[in-house]
Amino acid sequence: MAAMENDEKYPIDISARVNYLAEQSDEADNRFVFAYTITLTNASSTSVQLISRHWIITDAERHVQEVRGKGVVGEQPVLKPGQSFEYSSGTVLATQVGTMSGSYQMVAEDGTQFDAPIPMFVLSVPRVLH
């Protein structure tokens, strides 16, 4: 098994879009539901596969949830050079604002395992942050 790496040999571009789901949220019960769409683009010159995920979800009161699991939305996509994969998921916070960050555990076609860091993004009820 190859060693874990996190270098520029296998650059993966990761972006996130967030939507607050007011119809599924209950402010009186401190339940704030967010949907997010992640786009991963393989910017390397070799095929890579997403094996698992590790999320760190932090609310405004600094409560942290860590989520680990195989793949994303039931898939372990293989991305050829230049190829993108997009998926949507969601999370629930007990506060109006929070953040998500983490990493995807990947394996390149040469067997090298590496982490693709997920840049931190903000979850916020509209008009709460200015």
Residue 92 lies in a domain: yes
Residue 63 in this model has a pLDDT that exceeds 70: yes
| Percentage of the chain lying above the pLDDT 90 cut | 90
Residue 128 lies in a domain: no
Question: What pLDDT sits at residue 95?
Answer: 97
How far apart are the C-alpha atoms of 88 and 86, rounded to whole Å?
A: 7
Model pLDDT for residues 76-129, shown as the tens digit of each residue:
999 999 999 999 999 999 999 999 999 999 999 999 999 999 999 999 999 876
| Number of neighbouring beta carbons within 10 Å of residue 113 | 15
Residue 130 lies in a domain: no
Give the domain CATH number at 50. Answer: 2.60.40.1470
Residue 76 lies in a domain: yes
Residue 24 lies in a domain: yes
Residue 127 lies in a domain: no
Q: How many domains in the chain?
A: 1
| Percentage of the chain lying above the pLDDT 70 cut | 93
Q: Domain of 59?
A: 4-121
Residue 30 in this model has a pLDDT that exceeds 80: yes
Write the DSSP string, 7-67.
STTS-EEEEEEEEE-GGG-BGGGTBEEEEEEEEEEE-SSS-EEEEEEEEEEEETT--EEEE
Residue 68 lies in a domain: yes
Residue 32 lies in a domain: yes
Kindly report the pTM of this predicted structure.
0.90
